[in-house]
Amino acid sequence: MERVIGIDLGTTNSCVAIVEDGVPTVIPNRGGYKTTPSMVAITEAGKRLVGHIAKRQAITNAENTVYAAKRLIGRKFSSSQVKHATLSASYRIVEGPHGDVRIQLRDKTYSVPEISAMVLQEMKLFAEDYLSEPVTKAVITVPAYFNDGQRQATKDAGQIAGLDVIRIVNEPTAAALAYGFERNVEKTIAVFDLGGGTFDISILEIGAGGVFKVIATAGDTFLGGEDFDARIIDWLVQGFRDQTSVDLRQDRMALQRLKDAAEKAKCELSGVRETEINLPFIISSGRNEALHLQRTLTRDAMESLCGDLVERCIEICRQTLEDARIEREEIEDVILVGGMTRMPRVQEAVRQFFGREPCKGVHPDEVVALGAAVQGAALVDESKQMVLLDVTPHALGIMTYGSNFEELIPMNTTVPTSRSKIFTTSRDNQTAVKILVMQGESAQAEGNELLGEFVLTGLRRAPKGQVEIEVTFAIDSDGIVSVGAKDLETGQQQSIQVTASSGLTKEEVGAMMEAAKEYLVERRSNDEFEGVKQEAEKVIADIEKMFPKVQAIVQSSDFGRDAIEKARAILERCRDAITRKDLTALRGQMDSLARTHRMFKGVIARPQG
């Protein structure tokens, strides 16, 4: 049975996990860290950097380093969120051919799923290194409040990265799976997930026999750690302007440094009561005079800067409980997920709201990936006693006249589910009807996301109002929406699957997949070359060290001189292959190199005389 990895594709950090011998385990990256920054950069030389290495060079290469791509995934270029991001991002956001979002790095534009795919590909490689076997199947998590377009774009990213995304799972749900996995608890829990970019709250019921039933889920896809950082940046910029009349926002490099400093200060303030923000030579004034930024931020000050953000989270919790008609007392445990929940103010707010101490047993950065791995294992392994009964986070319906939204499946409906409604024709001899499928909670159609539209054709010709069509909306457990229509009189049926648009066409995804594959091949051979090169260089160095000694010993015989010559030639060929980056040639020399090495060692070890 093929193994399934679970990937938490986060706004700021990503994490990959797998169930190993029944135990969910986080797979560390090459640097030994359990999480990897969700950052991608293209260097001046055109080299792609992902993860920690991309983060480290972010300041010097700010314009070509992408962070928080998750905030853009599946969104339209014209949306207010993207406009907002365009203002603050250090990289260039441009409009794509379908009104989607593209990111300009150096001389190339990338779609957002492509950028995310680079991160996913990296995670996939870590898993393959760790397991020493190819990995193709994955469960990827998304914020519970993502709409279908964002989910589809995430799936596309997985596909581009060469992964078969067997399921998209909501992050808070995944956290609950990891929490309840094989613990055999029967509890109603709340998952409070404040990550880098999004906030989610989910209420779940864990039942006997490993049943996880989501009761309600809600959130805000534009409320997260980044917003806290932005508040601190605002404060720094404001203070600096007051002092020096220089606007740091005009300088992208300065902005990037501010961002790093703000994030660092925020993290530090979770542990200490005050911290120093010190950014020397942040900018030069008009008279070519270097200016430094130096300020002290206290925890209290930061809390007052961000107090309303925390309030917003709590307000969403309140609303969710109310909608689900659950009393706070019914919540038996609260799980904190996401790095932002380390902030004492957040913990305090949660404690106050739920009236109980949040659970300390889960790791806020790793629990989501672990849960994704658990879900993956449960899907492919029948022996796993676990089933997740998830809900649809958004209402599903159609647009009716006057641009109204008519709900067919309400939010928080357990999936799979289906609902039907009768439609009639409104024109004589009408042979087709157009149905606009939408997702969202707004009563006005334009306030919601258009999932797709389709035209039902082949209706019986009849006077208006006489053809009755029963339209059925169904969501299966994969979250796939299908719409079926049936002419009630003739029994004729048609059905269609509504796939949200991720902003990319199938062909584009296919082409990106190919490009990613090529990159991977290149990257693989590069990695391999690096490995062989290192090994070869070590041996070469060793041989060279022994060379004078061996030469002295064997010089007397013809055979010895011949051997020395041969060894010299082998070393030369190896060095040449290394310079030419010729992996095949280098490989071909490795055996001879090893033989030479053994021979040299043997000569030296032989008793002299």
Task: Report, in Å, the least distance between residue 474 CB and another protein.
Answer: 7
- Which tokens hold the place of 582? 């010729």
Choice between 414 and 526, CB closer to another protein: 414
447 forms part of the interface with another protein (CB under 8 A): no
Question: What sign for the dihedral angle of Cα 27, 202, 229, 340?
Answer: negative
Task: Catalytic residue, from 100, 114, 156, 171: name it.
Answer: 171
What does each C-alpha distance from 575 to 180, 554, 572, 583, 599 come to in angstroms? 56, 24, 5, 12, 20
Rounded to an integer, what is the distance from CA 190 to the centroid of its chain? 23
Q: Does residue 202 contact residue 367 with C-beta atoms inside 8 Å? A: no
Q: Which among 88-96, 242-250, 342-350, 401-409 is the span making contact with another protein, rule CB under 8 A?
A: 401-409
Interacting residues of 86 by C-beta distance below 8 A, sequence separation 6+? 93
Alpha helical stretches, state H, 192-224: none
1 forms part of the interface with another protein (CB under 8 A): no
- Which one of residues 43, 86, 136, 417 is an interface residue with another protein (CB under 8 A)? 417
398 forms part of the interface with another protein (CB under 8 A): yes
463 forms part of the interface with another protein (CB under 8 A): yes
141 strand-pairing partners: 8, 169
- Which one of residues 43, 251, 356, 416 is an interface residue with another protein (CB under 8 A)? 416
Choice between 18 and 386, CB closer to another protein: 386
In Å, the largest CA–CA distance within the chain is 114
- Which one of residues 422, 521, 552, 604 is an interface residue with another protein (CB under 8 A)? 422
- Which one of residues 468, 513, 517, 603 is an interface residue with another protein (CB under 8 A)? 468
The C-alpha atoms of residue 55 and residue 61 are separated, in whole angstroms, by 10
410 forms part of the interface with another protein (CB under 8 A): no
Q: Phi first, then psi: give them for residue 569, nearest 5 degrees.
A: -65, -40
Q: Does residue 195 contact residue 172 with C-beta atoms inside 8 Å? A: no
Map tokens 């679970």 to a residue: 6
The SS3 of residue 388 is strand
Site map for another protein, 309-328, x if CB under 8 A?
A: ----------------x---
Task: Report, in Å, the least distance between residue 239 CB and another protein.
Answer: 50
457 forms part of the interface with another protein (CB under 8 A): no
Choice between 211 and 520, CB closer to another protein: 211
Task: Report, in Å, the least distance between residue 201 CB and another protein.
Answer: 20
What does each C-alpha distance from 78 to 37, 45, 83, 96, 209 come to in angstroms? 27, 32, 7, 11, 47
Give yes or no: 148 in active site.
no
User: Nearest Cα to 43, choosing from 13, 65, 67?
Assistant: 65
57 forms part of the interface with another protein (CB under 8 A): no
Choice between 238 and 490, CB closer to another protein: 490
Strands across the sheet with 433-439, in order? Answer: 404-409, 396-400, 433-439, 449-456
Rounded to an integer, what is the distance from CA 30 to the centroid of its chain? 18
Q: Count interface residues toward another protein (CB under 8 A).
A: 52
Task: Catalytic residue, from 55, 70, 155, 259: name it.
Answer: 70
Choice between 239 and 416, CB closer to another protein: 416
Map tokens 């009104």 to a residue: 99
210 forms part of the interface with another protein (CB under 8 A): yes
For the purposes of burial, counting CB atoms within 10 Å of the CB of 20, is it exposed (0-12), middle (13-18) or buried (19 or more)? middle
Choice between 175 and 474, CB closer to another protein: 474
User: Nearest Cα to 180, choosing from 21, 335, 321, 34?
Assistant: 335
Q: Is the peptide bond before 607 cis (omega within 30 degrees of 0)?
A: no
The C-alpha atoms of residue 550 and residue 603 are separated, in whole angstroms, by 7
Choice between 282 and 391, CB closer to another protein: 391
**Alpha-carbon radius of gyration of the chain:** 29
- Which tokens hold the place of 375? 């879900």
Question: Could you report how far apart the first and last alpha carbons of the chain are, in Å?
Answer: 62
Using alpha carbons only, what angle is made at residue 47 by residues 42 and 51, rounded to the nearest 5 degrees? 65
Task: Report, in Å, the least distance between residue 146 CB and another protein.
Answer: 20
474 forms part of the interface with another protein (CB under 8 A): yes
Choice between 301 and 462, CB closer to another protein: 462
- Which one of residues 138, 144, 336, 469 is an interface residue with another protein (CB under 8 A)? 469
Give yes or no: 8 in active site.
yes
Task: Report, in Å, the least distance between residue 270 CB and another protein.
Answer: 38
329 forms part of the interface with another protein (CB under 8 A): no
401 forms part of the interface with another protein (CB under 8 A): yes
Q: Does residue 337 contact residue 347 with C-beta atoms inside 8 Å? A: no
Task: Catalytic residue, from 100, 156, 193, 508: name it.
Answer: 193
Q: Does residue 307 contact residue 163 with C-beta atoms inside 8 Å? A: no
494 forms part of the interface with another protein (CB under 8 A): no
Choice between 207 and 560, CB closer to another protein: 207
Task: Report, in Å, the least distance between residue 172 CB and another protein.
Answer: 18
Choice between 5 and 593, CB closer to another protein: 5
Task: Report, in Å, the least distance between residue 434 CB and another protein.
Answer: 5
Site map for another protein, 351-390, x if CB under 8 A?
A: ---------------------------xxx-x----xxx-
What does each C-alpha distance from 218 to 440, 510, 538 come to in angstroms? 12, 33, 56
- Which one of residues 298, 404, 534, 584 is an interface residue with another protein (CB under 8 A)? 404
- Which one of residues 434, 549, 581, 598 is an interface residue with another protein (CB under 8 A)? 434
Interacting residues of 479 by C-beta distance below 8 A, sequence separation 6+? 148, 151, 168, 392, 415
Site map for another protein, 163-202, x if CB under 8 A?
A: ---x------------------------------------
Give yes or no: 193 in active site.
yes
406 forms part of the interface with another protein (CB under 8 A): yes
Choice between 85 and 166, CB closer to another protein: 166
Residues involved in catalysis: 8, 70, 171, 193
Residues that bind another protein (CB under 8 A): 166, 207-211, 213, 325, 378-380, 382, 387-389, 398, 400-402, 404, 406, 414, 416-418, 420-427, 430, 433-435, 463-466, 468-471, 474, 476-477, 488-491
